[in-house]
Chain A
């Protein structure tokens, strides 16, 4: 019998709202969701733009 290795996972920093309805989302007062809001607000305060080009380098990332 061949056994498959167990899959391993990374627990990410983002909450999963799979299965959450908008009603759930509005009424949720959990710390986890509050932390997620703070995390995302931190991200949007430092927007990341990637610039590329086939011409000379200088602005591309």
Chain B
């Protein structure tokens, strides 16, 4: 094979059909489209391998006590000549992407804290071992140990006692069997299952109709998480069994009611990473652009929650794969945008990922709420109405401020077009109203916490108020400040809305729960459909604590629903300004009077 030098034309760019792009934008993208994304990932992983080789070439520390990276590369080439599929299979494993990304990032940042560089680069030896085993070839190498363990991709983890924190083990494949040795201990990897010193990477298979889902259940890989390598968190047989049952039941739901999602997952979802359980009923899920095909999830309370979590994370994975090929935003952007599902300001890139994911969530609930046998149709309507509203609002924000490229705008427009007839859907009235209430509360809560009105505006308005003149300065949107602390504040009101639908008999005890402890009596009145009482309650709260953010927004929500919509609207659109003006007037003015006074300018 001729050497491709700088004067020789290099690889061509990947071409993605417009049709594939349009399908993805519309939230579709079946197996053929997913395979295009997977091909893109393969090329990307190869580029990362090349980057790893280049990095190791100039860095003696990359090898340490291990064979040089170029020797591993030689061996990998030999495996590929014999069995190209073996190399592709391991390269496609999701956590290989995470490992490569982590290793390259550490190297190029000059990060010499923690694990020595050779533990990062040396994982290539474990990769080669795995490919040799799959190819049925004999091979011998040395692999790095982290706290006595090494992950062999697609196979499992060997664990040795009595190791240094960063250590090594001999590893070889012979007669189709993988063996590893450290000191006087040899681990023999069985064809299946666990053994002494060995934890197998388990799989789960779910079948429904004509579709089969087969995933690794990865509780081992150090690079299965989002940031730094983590220790294994082995699921007991009972926990593993629970996951397989949940997966089977979720799969049945997806195949029965969300066929396109199921077809995409069947092609692209290859690794489930169990996360520790969260507090209460919160199910956490996650994914990363580097691990295409892997979804992290904490134990959900029921199969429907798992199904919607998979649908949600799949959207992130698909968009991440697309954005590796086609830039949809211009730069990361400043964290200053309102994302309805986030309590903190978001940058443009994060907003687009959220929009696509919540479009998927809304689409899920739009269909799921009509599935027969639902446990709580009213709650399903709420979830649909809320996620639909969140998505629609965020689309408008992205098109206005989202740093979208031309392709990005096209993507968002096509996604929006799929929602054109969603407004005609019949919804349970109480569920729809609660969704509106929560959405309005979240928007206003975000504004009062993250926007700062200009001092000049506040001063001018305060002067006009004191002069008993009309407001001469327009209430304008303030400056958005980033929130590095990522404060989490919106949970209680959302929880209250859900409790109203899920357990109305326990509604008035919501403040006794851990999630509802910060709710006020006025909140309970408001969400119970008692706006007059709620308004009185919020005014009393502000009299005692003018800095109570939720009392300001609650007052706006309540007034809107008592019929004083103009005053309520000012409070909801400019809660930061009204609160700042109230503060500037030393609390001497009534909050409702201030907001009412500001409506005079809006009506001009």
Contacts and interface: CB of A to CB of B under 8 A. Distances in A.
Contacts of B190: none
A37 B107 CA distance: 14
Interface in B442-501: 442, 486, 488-492, 494-495
A45 to B, nearest CB: 6
B77 interface: yes
Contacts of B259: none
A31 B10 contact: yes
B105 interface: yes
Interface in A11-55: 11-18, 20-33, 36-37, 39-41, 43-55
Contact of B53 (A26, A54, A55): A26
Contacts of B122: none
B413 interface: no
B6 A21 contact: no
Nearest to B106: A44
B588 interface: no
B288 A14 contact: no
Interface stretch (B113-121, B148-156, B341-349, B574-582): B341-349
A56 B47 contact: no
A21 B76 CA distance: 10
Interface in B1-44: 1, 3-6, 8-19, 21, 39-40, 42-44
B347 to A, nearest CB: 11
Interface string B388-427: 0000000000000000000100000000000000000000
A25 B47 CA distance: 8
Contact of A46 (B18, B305, B332): B332
Contacts of B488: 56, 58-59
Given A12-B15, A12-B326, A15-B47, A54 B104 contact: no
Contacts of B492: 56
A49 B1 CA distance: 39
B286 interface: yes
B50 A16 contact: no
Contact of A30 (B6, B325, B407): B6
Contacts, number: 240
A55 B353 contact: no
B58 interface: no
A10 B44 contact: no
B300 interface: yes
B48 interface: yes
Given A21-B80, A50-B353, A40 B51 contact: yes
A43 B348 CA distance: 16
B59 interface: no
B80 A22 contact: yes
B18 A57 contact: no
Contacts of A49: 226-227, 286-288
Contacts of B162: none
B217 interface: no
A58 B491 contact: yes
A61 B354 contact: yes
A36 B49 CA distance: 12
B285 interface: yes
Contacts of B16: 9-10, 12
A23 to B, nearest CB: 5
B366 interface: no
Interface residue SS majority, chain A: mixed
A47 B13 contact: no
A33 B77 contact: no
Contacts of B354: 60-61
Contact of B11 (A13, A15, A48): A15
Max chain A C-beta neighbours (<10 A), residue from B21, B46, B308:
B46
Interface residues of B, number: 93
Interface residues of A, number: 50
A11 to B, nearest CB: 5
A1 interface: no
Nearest to A49: B226
A2 interface: no
B274 interface: no
Interface string B235-258: 000000000000000000000000
B9 A32 contact: yes
Contacts of A8: 17-18
Contacts of B289: 43, 47-48, 50
B212 interface: no
B228 to A, nearest CB: 11
Nearest to B226: A49
B47 A33 contact: yes
Interface string B267-308: 000000000001011111111111000000000100001001
B340 interface: yes
Max chain A C-beta neighbours (<10 A), residue from B19, B47, B101, B491:
B47
Contacts of A45: 105, 108-109
B77 to A, nearest CB: 5
23 contacts: A10-B15, A12-B326, A17-B42, A20-B46, A21-B1, A21-B80, A22-B73, A22-B77, A24-B1, A26-B77, A28-B10, A29-B3, A37-B47, A44-B48, A45-B105, A48-B288, A48-B353, A49-B286, A49-B288, A55-B281, A58-B489, A59-B486, A61-B357
Given A37-B54, A53-B285, 4 more contacts: A27-B1, A28-B3, A54-B300, A57-B343
Please give me the 3 A-B residue pairs with the lowest Cβ-Cβ distance, nearest first.
Answer: A30-B10, A56-B491, A55-B282
